[in-house]
């Protein structure tokens, strides 16, 4: 009998801390599958953020560093400059990457830092209990926007891929989604391209993965996927924004 | 022995390179700019990394990355910039990473002044980051010591897996003196088998400061403090100058100690038996050396370029056995030997 499905070697054999129905687990798996397929695990260093994926250092079976909130691209820069032969990736949420760590993100991209960033955008701060994120949708209700995000006082959601695509140092960035099997397959291809961009020393690569947060959105997993499709996809169009050829 | 005439900031930079530091991450701020500028010139020559970061916070986090990867890494800044690095200093401690941080102090609070100051004593010794931890703080008092402290700093950092701060000031950073760059013999240091370099051929390494279980974090902190006890025992440094027969003892570090030496000599010429104790490590603080003098002298005079910060540690060390007086200039002002002499005379 042949094995048709198994845990990727780059994923540690542990139970994750993610809520039921959350798509972090899928995204972890995609990253791990890519590390396996490109045979990178043994020379890879991952940088875990602060947020729901703070414990990612337990889940990826490669060398890991846990960074301060938003600082993962700076830590990754230090690791990569120290040992340029290593493959270095960060795994960050929207609060980490697009609020407190915006400076680190933009400048790592501007320098063309040869690292890969996996950016999980679920439009909310998950771990701290569902506060407004920089990517929270207009009118979206969160713990800190109880009347819905009012763009007059809380401003507009940030489109990271579009912003980083304007920088010459960004070699590759693409926005993908986890809302369907087809899109998950595209997401994996994008993650693979991002790591290949790094191994080919082309510069900064980022994949923005639209993700769900059933717990803090107050929806069941299936309705969460519907909500992502109805609300996030129109504002955050999928596609390649830079490179990838 | 060959000597070169160097600015303090440049002397630290060259000593760091000679100590094997190949990764420097900085951000412009006066009065330490010559250090980063020197690194930007020299690092490419030795195939090292000079990176001008987008912020002080990014710079210290790049140090974290390079240190986690097992390399000797360093950043430098001045007072307001070091305050910004506090977050990283705490993570360095929580991750038990070796790193060297230079603070060329200027006057504060706020934007303050670019003139020299010693008002970051509290930030260096007592604070500068959240949580239960210390940094080793070295306080050079001339340019030769800027070099020697840099060698010592990297060795202490690697030996104990701690952050070492070199606490200088605008005078020491800008002043030029002849220095010998001869390196002391390198003692063996522990292997960095904890570093993240890719797990090929071993189990994965994780560099982390998160412990969700309070029982485990408590143990981690207790273990770290045992390391601090070792450092206190092995690395406390102070210079005693004319203290053998002293009736009045000046306590000062860094540039203030240098000026105080002149005042001690002037007092001796007037027939006052003055001496100086100069902490070279501000943490660990030379408590015993100061306490031992408390039985012998009539009083202590603490000279600081601040409103009086180290004086609290001197008072603790003296345990109220003798009066402890303060001779202070602040806000970027520097005490003249005459002012210190007057203070010595008043203390008698």
DSSP characters over B246-313? -SEEEE--HHHHHHHHHHHHHHHHTT--EEEEEESEEES--HHHHHHHHTT-SEEEEEESSSSSHHHH
**B143 contacts B11 by C-beta, under 8 angstroms:** yes
Rounded CA-CA distance B30/B309 in Å is 23
Among A33, A29, A5, smallest CA distance to A18 is for A29
Please count the residue pairs, one from chain A and one from chain B, whose beta carbons lie less than 8 angstroms apart.
132
Q: Please report, for chain B, the start and end positions of each structural domain, with discontinuous segments joined by +.
A: 4-192+206-235, 238-347
**B250 contacts B340 by C-beta, under 8 angstroms:** yes
- C-alpha count within 13 angstroms, C-beta hemisphere, residue A197: 28
- Please give the mean pLDDT across all residues of chain B: 97
- Would you call A103 and B58 a contact, using CB atoms and an 8 Å cutoff? yes
Name the token pair of B157. Answer: 């950092």
pLDDT at residue B186 in the model: 87
Smallest Cβ–Cβ distance between B23 and the set A58, A81, A104 belongs to: A81
Taking the complete model, does pTM exceed 0.90, yes or no? Answer: yes
Four-CA torsion B9, B10, B11, B15, nearest 10 degrees? 110
Q: What whole-number percentage of chain B has pLDDT above 90?
A: 97
- Would you call A81 and B205 a contact, using CB atoms and an 8 Å cutoff? no
Instruction: Please list every residue in chain B whose beta carbon sits closer than 8 Å to the beta carbon of residue A65.
Output: 64-65, 68, 95, 196, 206-208
Smallest Cβ–Cβ distance between A62 and the set B64, B68, B204 belongs to: B204
- Would you call A64 and B65 a contact, using CB atoms and an 8 Å cutoff? no
Would you call A134 helix, strand, or coil by DSSP? coil
- Please give the mean pLDDT across all residues of chain A: 97
- Would you call B58 and A74 a contact, using CB atoms and an 8 Å cutoff? yes
pLDDT > 80? residue A244? no
> Does A121 fall in a domain?
yes
Query: pLDDT tens digit string along A15-31?
Result: 999 999 999 999 999 99
Instruction: Tell me which H or E stretch contains A44.
Output: strand A44-48
Rounded CA-CA distance B229/B245 in Å is 31
Q: Do domains B4-192+206-235 and B238-347 have the same CATH topology?
A: yes
Instruction: Please list every residue in chain A whose beta carbon sits closer than 8 Å to the beta carbon of residue B207.
Output: 64-66
- Would you call A82 and B49 a contact, using CB atoms and an 8 Å cutoff? yes
Would you call A112 helix, strand, or coil by DSSP? coil
pLDDT > 90? residue B18? yes
CB atoms within 10 A of CB B216: 10
User: pLDDT band at residue A182, thresholds of 50, 70 and 90?
Assistant: very high
Instruction: Tell me which H or E stretch contains A20.
Output: none
Domain B4-192+206-235 has CATH 3.40.50.970: yes
pLDDT > 80? residue A245? no
Instruction: Please list every residue in chain B whose beta carbon sits closer than 8 Å to the beta carbon of residue A81.
Output: 23, 49, 51, 62, 65-66
pLDDT > 70? residue B34? yes
- Would you call B71 and A82 a contact, using CB atoms and an 8 Å cutoff? yes
- Would you call B53 and A54 a contact, using CB atoms and an 8 Å cutoff? no
Query: pLDDT tens digit string along A73-127?
Result: 999 999 999 999 999 999 999 999 999 999 999 999 999 999 999 999 999 999 9
**B77 contacts B89 by C-beta, under 8 angstroms:** no
Query: pLDDT tens digit string along B198-219?
Result: 999 999 999 999 999 999 999 9
Q: At what angle do helices A24-37 and A181-199 cross, to 10 degrees?
A: 50
User: pLDDT band at residue A203, thresholds of 50, 70 and 90?
Assistant: very high
User: pLDDT band at residue B127, thresholds of 50, 70 and 90?
Assistant: confident
Q: Which domain holds residue A221?
A: 24-242
pLDDT at residue B196 in the model: 98
CB atoms within 10 A of CB A43: 19
pLDDT > 90? residue A1? no
Query: pLDDT tens digit string along B48-104?
Result: 999 999 999 999 999 999 999 999 999 999 999 999 999 999 999 999 999 999 999
CA A138 distance to own-chain centroid: 21
Rounded CA-CA distance B271/B268 in Å is 5
Give phi and psi for B329, each to the nearest 5: -125, 150
Among A214, A177, A176, smallest CA distance to A193 is for A176
The interface pTM score, or ipTM, of the predicted complex is 0.97
Instruction: Please list every residue in chain A whose beta carbon sits closer than 8 Å to the beta carbon of residue B49.
Output: 81-82
> Does A233 fall in a domain?
yes
Residue of B nearest to A88 (CA): B198
Residues 6+ apart with CB under 8 A from B125: B137, B282, B283, B285, B310, B313
Question: What are the beta bridge partners of residue A242?
Answer: A173
Q: Residue A145's domain is classified under what CATH number?
A: 3.40.50.970
CA distance A87 to chain B (A): 8
Instruction: Please list every residue in chain B whose beta carbon sits closer than 8 Å to the beta carbon of residue A71.
Output: 57-58, 61, 64, 87-88
CA distance B66 to chain A (A): 4
pLDDT at residue A67 in the model: 98
Would you call A217 helix, strand, or coil by DSSP? helix
CATH topology classification for B238-347: Rossmann fold (3.40.50)
Q: Does B70 touch chain A (CB under 8 A)?
A: yes
Give phi and psi for B230, each to the nearest 5: -60, -45
Among A21, A203, A3, smallest CA distance to A111 is for A203
pLDDT at residue B205 in the model: 98
* Residue B202 burial by Cβ neighbours in a 10 Å radius (0-12, 13-18, 19+): exposed
Residues 6+ apart with CB under 8 A from B62: A74, A75, A77, A78, A81, B23, B25, B51, B53, B73, B75
> Does A6 fall in a domain?
no
Give phi and psi for A102, each to the nearest 5: -60, -45
- Would you call B68 and A65 a contact, using CB atoms and an 8 Å cutoff? yes
Name the token pair of B98. Answer: 């070796």
Instruction: Please list every residue in chain A whose beta carbon sits closer than 8 Å to the beta carbon of residue B25.
Output: 78
Domain count, chain A: 1
pLDDT at residue A186 in the model: 98
Query: pLDDT tens digit string along B51-66?
Result: 999 999 999 999 999 9
Q: Distances in Å between the alpha carbon of B55 and those of A50, B8, B28, B131?
A: 19, 24, 9, 23
pLDDT > 70? residue A32? yes
- Would you call B61 and A71 a contact, using CB atoms and an 8 Å cutoff? yes
């Amino acid at each position: 009998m042949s094995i048709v499905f198994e845990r990727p070697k780059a994923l540690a054999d542990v139970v994750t801390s993610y809520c039921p129905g959350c798509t972090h687990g899928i995204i972890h798996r995609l990253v791990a599958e890519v590390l396996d397929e490109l045979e990178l695990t043994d020379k890879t260093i991952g940088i875990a953020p602060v947020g729901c994926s703070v414990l990612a250092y337990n889940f990826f079976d490669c060398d890991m560093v846990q960074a301060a909130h938003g600082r993962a691209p700076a830590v990754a820069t230090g690791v990569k400059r120290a040992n340029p032969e290593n493959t270095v990736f960060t795994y960050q949420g929207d609060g980490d990457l697009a609020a407190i760590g915006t400076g680190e993100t933009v400048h790592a991209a501007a320098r063309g830092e040869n690292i890969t960033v996996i950016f999980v955008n679920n439009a909310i701060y998950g771990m701290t209990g569902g506060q407004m994120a920089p990517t929270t949708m207009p009118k979206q209700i969160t713990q800190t926007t109880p009347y819905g995000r009012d763009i007059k006082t809380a401003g507009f959601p940030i489109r990271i891929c579009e912003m980083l695509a304007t920088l010459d140092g960004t070699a590759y960035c693409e926005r993908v989604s986890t809302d369907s099997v087809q899109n998950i397959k595209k997401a994996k291809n994008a993650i693979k391209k991002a790591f290949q961009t790094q191994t080919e020393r082309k510069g900064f690569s980022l994949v923005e993965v639209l993700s769900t947060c059933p717990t803090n959105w107050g929806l069941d997993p299936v309705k969460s996927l519907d909500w992502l499709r109805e609300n996030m996809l129109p504002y955050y169009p999928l596609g390649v924004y830079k490179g990838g050829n | 022995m060959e000597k070169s005439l160097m600015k303090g900031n440049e002397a630290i930079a060259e000593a760091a390179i000679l100590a094997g530091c190949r990764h420097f991450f900085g951000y412009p701020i006066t009065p330490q700019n010559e250090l980063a500028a020197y690194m930007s010139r020299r690092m490419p020559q030795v195939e090292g990394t000079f990176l001008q970061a987008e912020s002080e916070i990014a710079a210290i986090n790049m140090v974290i990355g390079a240190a986690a990867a097992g390399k000797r890494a360093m950043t430098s800044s001045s007072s307001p910039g070091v305050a910004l690095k506090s977050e990283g200093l705490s993570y360095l401690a929580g991750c038990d990473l070796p790193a060297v941080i230079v603070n060329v102090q200027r006057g504060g609070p706020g934007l303050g002044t670019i003139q020299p100051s010693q008002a970051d004593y509290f930030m260096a010794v007592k604070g500068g980051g959240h949580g239960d931890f210390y940094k080793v703080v070295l306080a050079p008092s001339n340019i030769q010591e800027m070099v020697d402290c840099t060698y010592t700093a990297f060795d202490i950092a690697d030996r104990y897996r701690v952050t070492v701060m070199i606490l200088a000031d605008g005078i020491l950073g800008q002043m030029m003196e002849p220095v010998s760059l001869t390196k002391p013999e390198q003692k063996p240091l522990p292997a960095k088998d904890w570093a993240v370099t890719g797990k090929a051929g071993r189990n994965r390494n994780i560099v982390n400061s998160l412990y969700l279980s309070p029982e485990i974090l408590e143990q981690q902190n207790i273990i770290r403090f045992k390391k601090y006890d070792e450092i206190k025992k092995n690395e406390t440094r102070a210079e005693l100058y004319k203290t053998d027969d002293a009736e009045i003892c000046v306590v000062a570090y860094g540039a203030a100690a240098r000026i105080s030496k002149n005042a001690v000599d002037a007092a001796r010429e007037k027939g006052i038996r003055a001496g100086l104790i100069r902490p070279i490590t501000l943490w660990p603080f030379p408590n015993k050396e100061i306490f031992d003098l408390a039985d012998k002298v009539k009083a202590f005079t603490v000279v600081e370029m601040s409103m009086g910060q180290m004086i609290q540690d001197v008072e603790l060390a003296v345990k109220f056995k003798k009066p402890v007086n303060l001779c202070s200039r602040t806000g970027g002002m520097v005490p003249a030997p005459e002012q210190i002499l007057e203070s010595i005379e008043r203390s008698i």
